[in-house]
Amino acid sequence: MRLRLRPISYTGVITTGLMITVGGVGAQSAKTGIEGRWGGALTIMGAELPFSVTFERVGIELRPFSVTEDSLSRPKATMDIPAQGAFDLPLTSFSYENSRVHFELQAGIGLAVWDGIHEGDVIEGEFTQNGALGTFRIERDDVDEVEEEPELLPYQQEVVTFENGQFHFEGTLTLPHGPGPYPAVVMITGSGPQDRDEQIFGFRPFKIIADHLTRLKIAVYRYDDRGVGGSTGSVSEATSSDFADDVLAAVARVGADPRIDAARIGLIGHSEGGIVAPIAANRSKAISFAVLLAGTSVTGAEVIYEQAMLIARAANASEADIAEQTHFQQRMFEALSRGEDLEQFRDEMEADFRQALAMASPEEREAISDMDEFIETRVNAEIGRIQTPWFRYFLSYDPADALRQVKIPILALFGEMDLQVSPAQNYELMVEALIGNDDVTIELIPGANHLFQEAVTGSPNEYPTLDKSFIPGFLEKISDWILART
């Protein structure tokens, strides 16, 4: 049987985050439609996982919302999973029409999908993630919540917006108190639609980095990706090159602030952000340094093959299955590069899904009301994702070319246990690509995963259970290096 862990679904490709934007039209009073808080549980493989969902500003007459739709006043939906220490997880691809409710949670371990029916004070239906099937039931749980006192921070926080052509972006600028001017950092997220905090399972890496640096008198600007939160556009319809232009527009906006020293603005890019940062730095002299966190130095196709192999091994897959999986990916990517119709792979993909479902428990199979429709929907999603402009660009782009041209100071950090951007694949090649730069520091962080948390195996499957903090010494390594250069 071919492995079901197909990273051709790029939500698992060097991604760290989740989409925050949901949407729709209309508005109404509380306790009508589905607006408000709902609580209940997910039942999967005989176990229950309690969770709650909050829908804000959602009306009855909603049409399905596409993440490509531009809107500055979008409704919002979030999920709490207390058992995993995860709160305010942003939900995506939300729709509510004719009593049918659909929402998704994008995570490194695979896209989680909820499809349900709303009747009165109950929403119940089916759940799927990575081939696992389950059911869920949630009921109205609206309570009057006492507002918490805002945390008194030793610095300022401001909502700052900027434009790049037709696209509007919104983010948070954190500034030390006082007139300045201060050095500044612009943050760049990893792959997939992500919010300004790069949130995943309740862990907010960019917010933590911003807090740490701002306390040390370094201003930080972090913004929502295209199509996320307060930003317009679509990540999947853009490329890493387009994201570099977004970064430069953000740098120009920050540099125009009199409290910021425009001669001391740098970048911190994580994962795909580590690809985008060198592209941006080579296009503008306004960038004075860059920190690359789990950046790559080989093509996206090579990253995907390695990532799939390492994660599959961590899941105890056989070498024969891994080889078959890689061969399938290679055939599909080669067909994509030749401009061929990927419908030729539909039968194989459907067969894989059916074989996986045949091995599921009776309860899991019963959770799917229409097996044919379920399989067709999942295959359509897989084929659609790998044909997006983002995926096509990522597959063939070689970041080593931009790295060889970079002349600003560079700090590159890798996690020893990272299975998404393997240091064994990327570390030495990055050293080689940056050999002509006079100020380069490249280090391997022992025990760290792709998010630079202290890991057990390094697999993305661990993300929900790990502490929502960085491995000790990680933040200081970044701040000490930046302070020495600013």
**Residue ranges per domain, the chain?**
10-140, 155-299+395-485
With cut-offs at 50, 70 and 90, classify the pLDDT of residue 356.
confident
* The pLDDT of residue 62: 33
pLDDT, average across residues 374-383: 84
Number of other residues whose CB lies within 10 A of the CB of residue 116 = 22
Residue corresponding to tokens 């084929």: 383
* The pLDDT of residue 107: 63
For residue 309, what are the contacts with CB-CB under 8 A and spacing of at least 6?
A: 322, 325, 326
* The pLDDT of residue 16: 42
Q: Which of 350-354, 362-366, 390-394, 438-442 is least confident?
A: 362-366
pLDDT, average across residues 170-188: 96
In contact, 298 and 349? CB cutoff 8 Å? no
- The token pair that represents 43 in the structure block: 């039942």
Q: Does the pLDDT value for residue 61 go beyond 60?
A: no
Q: Does the pLDDT value for residue 10 go beyond 50?
A: no
Name the residue among 452, 421, 17, 22 with its Cα closest to residue 198: 17
Instruction: Give the integer Cα–Cα distance in Å for 368 and 373.
Output: 9
State residue 405 phi and psi, 5-degree precision: -90, -15
* The pLDDT of residue 464: 75
Q: Does the pLDDT value for residue 300 go beyond 70?
A: yes
For residue 203, what are the contacts with CB-CB under 8 A and spacing of at least 6?
A: 451, 453, 463, 466, 468, 469
Q: 442 has which bridge partners? A: 412
Q: Which of 12-16, 98-102, 126-130, 281-285 is least confident?
A: 12-16
* The pLDDT of residue 377: 81
Instruction: Give the integer Cα–Cα distance in Å for 355 and 4.
Output: 10
With cut-offs at 50, 70 and 90, classify the pLDDT of residue 309.
very high
* The pLDDT of residue 83: 64
State residue 367 phi and psi, 5-degree precision: -70, -15
Q: Does the pLDDT value for residue 159 go beyond 70?
A: yes
Q: Which of 56-70, 279-293, 360-374 is least confident?
A: 56-70
Q: Which of 162-176, 194-208, 418-432 is least confident?
A: 194-208
* The pLDDT of residue 296: 98
* The pLDDT of residue 240: 97
With cut-offs at 50, 70 and 90, classify the pLDDT of residue 326.
very high
* The pLDDT of residue 99: 84
Q: Does the pLDDT value for residue 461 go beyond 50?
A: yes
For residue 231, what are the contacts with CB-CB under 8 A and spacing of at least 6?
A: 167, 168, 169, 170, 223, 224, 225
Second CATH level (architecture) for the domain 155-299+395-485: 3-Layer(aba) Sandwich (3.40)
- The token pair that represents 321 in the structure block: 């299955």
* The pLDDT of residue 375: 85
* The pLDDT of residue 142: 60
Q: How many residues does the chain have?
A: 486
* The pLDDT of residue 486: 94
Q: Does the pLDDT value for residue 238 go beyond 90?
A: yes
In contact, 295 and 426? CB cutoff 8 Å? yes
* The pLDDT of residue 194: 87
Q: What is the pLDDT of residues 344-354, one digit of tens each?
A: 999 999 988 88
Q: Does the pLDDT value for residue 46 go beyond 70?
A: no
* The pLDDT of residue 36: 82
* The pLDDT of residue 59: 41
Q: Which of 80-84, 258-262, 328-332, 384-388 is least confident?
A: 80-84
Q: For domain 10-140, give its CATH number from 3.40.50.150, 3.30.540.10, 3.40.50.720, 2.40.128.120.
A: 2.40.128.120
Instruction: Give the integer Cα–Cα distance in Å for 19 and 293.
Output: 20
